[in-house]
């Protein structure tokens, strides 16, 4: 493969390290650097910032830190910059960058992709009776809505590059769109180059979370955590035919391997044969990932289908308040002491609420962190000598959740013995932000490109209809257990795992460490096993999808995160630790395979 296009991923979220950009600019010979800043909660935070100041609402540190410190070197190396740092105010972000370019006396053109912000249409959506695409809930009250944004694709970004932009800023685009746009611009890929578009999207998916593909959050973390502060940011080389080579910034720590890349491929996807993006429907089920040399991995086999005729839209809206805190208990019966204290806090708060004619809480949560009895394969009578109590509550009245915090202190001298905690200020109530997802026709979203003040409409491609039920599902590999002798094995001994979230759903990707284990894992790691493992969290169903190309499985857990994100009271509202929980489960394996 000729390495014609080289892209570095410098940001996986709003708050990623400022060391990424100078590291990637240090001798890596890049054509593009891409930045992903946005998540649903990020959009709501930015919307509140814009409401207070019309010049805010974007990732300010992208301009003040990343661009200001590196823009001259970016210009000297002729590296193009693509970022969704615009948030809910991409024009303001672009203007700030233009001012910086002028201050540094550089010759760079900035373009903005517009059209994703649909907040002004909230009344229309209410009148149409739009329902949430997963729960069928009614459209939120308009005065509670903070943001409404369509997930735009890569082709407008590519067009901005074609028009001569050096830096392209977007609002809400899908995370992988900035990487795919670089491929479309470089190779002239068309809307019906489905397999290539799927490969470019996979390239973006692999690098969109920064160091998660170079050893971060890796199951075998001890292999990648030496000199963790020097971990390398990801680089992907993309060929014209869609073949990918994944590596990392040179002279850095971390690890790029089959395990790190396939874990990231499965991160936060649903059906791997119907990973729906604005530009293409991706099928990753037969993707093959192979190690070429140290820290160099080849990726092939992504398949694409026609793009959907609609955009996914996410609205965020306020739904009351939440408050909570953590403290620890030490000694005999520590978990029992912690639970007694937590329950007393809520009872005391409710007693005062009744005096104030405030109704009961919408929801309360007590989690005893360190109490292994909450997991199905642990000793139910385990006596932990030190645990952390996390308590939290939701209510439409901010006074109610404020009472939880106040009375947790008021009961401090009445607790069972062993209460301790790091001394600091009492936390404050925070607004609950919920996610509301729905679909809109692409024809109803007007996309445009602003290049240095010249605005032109972008004609969004209207794809042909495609019935995804035509996609053939892989069959469970055959496994003859006759005459086998089995032994109990922790799943982590034979598999990697990575988990993430989408709203109130969690996904857990499980990857066989060796192809010989895969048939047995597919047969014995069932939906029922997963349901039992998460019985204390799960309120919905479990779905199972096979990816034979990478010898992996993707599980979807529905209604498992207590609302997800900032709407949840859970200690892990995004399911980030769920893979670790599942990897700790015991499954039967043929003794001959382990030998």
Q: How many angstroms from the chain centroid is the CA of residue 82? A: 19
Residues 6+ apart with CB under 8 A from 43: 87, 88, 146, 147, 149, 172, 314, 316
Three-class SS state of 528: helix
Strand 32-35 vs strand 80-83: parallel, antiparallel, or unpaired? parallel
**pLDDT, tens digit, 9 for 90 and up, residues 548-574:** 999 999 999 999 999 998 889 999 999
Which tokens belong to 218?
């890796």
Closest CA to 580 of 220, 219, 257: 219
Task: State the pTM of this model.
Answer: 0.94
Gyration radius from the chain CA atoms? 25
Helix/strand/coil for 288: strand
How do residues 178-196 score in pLDDT, each as one tens digit?
999 999 999 999 999 999 9
Above pLDDT 70, what percent of the chain? 97
Residue 150: exposed, middle, or buried by beta-carbon count in 10 A (0-12, 13-18, 19+)? Answer: buried
In this prediction, residue 33 has a pLDDT band, given cuts at 50, 70 and 90, of very high
Tokens of residue 472, six digits: 């053939």
d(CA 50, CA 44): 10
Q: Environment class of residue 37 by beta-carbon count within 10 Å: exposed (0-12), middle (13-18) or buried (19+)?
A: buried
Contacts of 261 (CB under 8 A, 6+ apart): 206, 213, 246, 289, 297, 299
pLDDT digits (tens, 9 = 90+) for 292-348: 999 999 999 999 999 999 999 999 999 999 999 999 999 999 999 999 999 999 999
Give me 335's structure tokens: 């978990």
Q: How far apart are CA 250 and CA 232, in angstroms?
A: 7
């Amino acid at each position: 493969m000729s390495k014609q296009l080289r892209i570095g991923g410098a940001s996986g979220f709003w708050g990623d390290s400022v060391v990424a950009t100078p590291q990637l600019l240090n001798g890596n010979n890049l054509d593009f650097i891409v930045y992903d800043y946005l998540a649903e909660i990020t959009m709501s935070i930015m919307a509140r910032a814009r409401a207070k100041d019309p010049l805010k609402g974007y990732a300010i540190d992208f301009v003040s830190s990343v661009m200001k410190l590196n823009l001259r070197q970016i210009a000297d190396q002729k590296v193009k910059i693509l970022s969704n740092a615009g948030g809910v105010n991409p024009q303001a972000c672009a203007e700030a960058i233009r001012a910086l370019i002028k201050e540094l006396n550089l010759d760079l053109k900035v373009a903005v992709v517009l059209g994703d912000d649909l907040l002004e249409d909230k009344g229309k959506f209410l009148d149409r009776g739009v329902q949430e695409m997963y729960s069928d809930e009614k459209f939120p009250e308009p005065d509670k809505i903070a943001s409404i944004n369509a997930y735009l694709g890569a082709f407008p970004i590519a067009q901005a590059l074609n028009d001569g932009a050096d830096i392209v800023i977007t609002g809400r685009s899908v995370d992988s769109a900035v990487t795919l746009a670089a491929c479309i611009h470089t190779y002239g890929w068309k809307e019906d180059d489905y397999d290539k578009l799927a490969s470019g999207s996979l390239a973006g998916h692999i690098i969109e979370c920064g160091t998660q593909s170079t050893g971060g959050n890796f199951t075998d973390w001890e292999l990648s955590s030496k000199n963790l502060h020097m971990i390398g940011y990801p680089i992907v080389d993309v060929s014209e035919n869609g073949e990918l080579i994944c590596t990392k910034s040179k002279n850095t720590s971390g690890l790029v391997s089959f395990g790190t890349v396939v874990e990231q491929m499965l991160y936060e996807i649903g059906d791997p044969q119907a990973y729906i993006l604005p530009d293409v429907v991706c099928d990753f089920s037969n993707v093959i990932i192979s190690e070429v040399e140290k820290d160099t991995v080849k990726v092939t086999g992504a398949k694409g289908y026609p793009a959907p005729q609609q955009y996914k839209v996410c609205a965020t809206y306020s739904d009351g308040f939440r408050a909570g805190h953590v403290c620890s208990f030490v000694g005999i019966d520590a978990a029992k002491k912690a639970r007694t204290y937590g329950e007393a806090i809520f009872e005391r708060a409710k007693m005062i609420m009744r005096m104030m004619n405030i109704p009961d809480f919408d929801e309360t949560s007590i989690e005893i962190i360190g109490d292994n009895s909450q997991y199905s394969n642990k000793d139910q009578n385990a006596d932990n000598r030190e645990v952390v109590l996390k308590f939290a509550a939701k209510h439409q009245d901010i006074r109610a959740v404020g009472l939880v915090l106040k009375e947790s202190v008021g009961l401090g001298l009445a607790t069972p013995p062993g209460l301790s905690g790091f001394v600091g200020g009492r936390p404050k109530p925070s607004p609950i932000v919920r996610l509301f997802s729905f679909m809109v026709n692409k024809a109803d979203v007007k996309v445009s490109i602003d290049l240095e003040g010249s605005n032109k409409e972008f004609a969004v491609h209207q794809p042909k209809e495609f019935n995804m039920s035509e996609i053939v599902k892989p069959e469970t590999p055959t496994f003859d257990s006759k005459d086998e002798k089995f032994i109990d094995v922790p799943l982590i001994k034979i598999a990697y795992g990575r988990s993430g979230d989408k709203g109130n759903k969690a996904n857990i990707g499980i990857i066989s460490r060796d192809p010989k284990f895969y048939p047995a894992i597919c047969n014995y790691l069932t939906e029922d096993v997963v349901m039992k493992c998460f019985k204390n969290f799960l309120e919905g169903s479990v779905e199972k999808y096979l990816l034979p190309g990478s010898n992996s499985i993707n599980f979807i857990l529905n209604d498992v995160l207590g609302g997800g994100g900032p709407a949840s009271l859970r200690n892990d509202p995004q399911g980030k630790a769920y893979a670790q929980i599942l990897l700790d489960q015991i499954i039967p394996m043929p003794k001959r395979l382990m030998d």
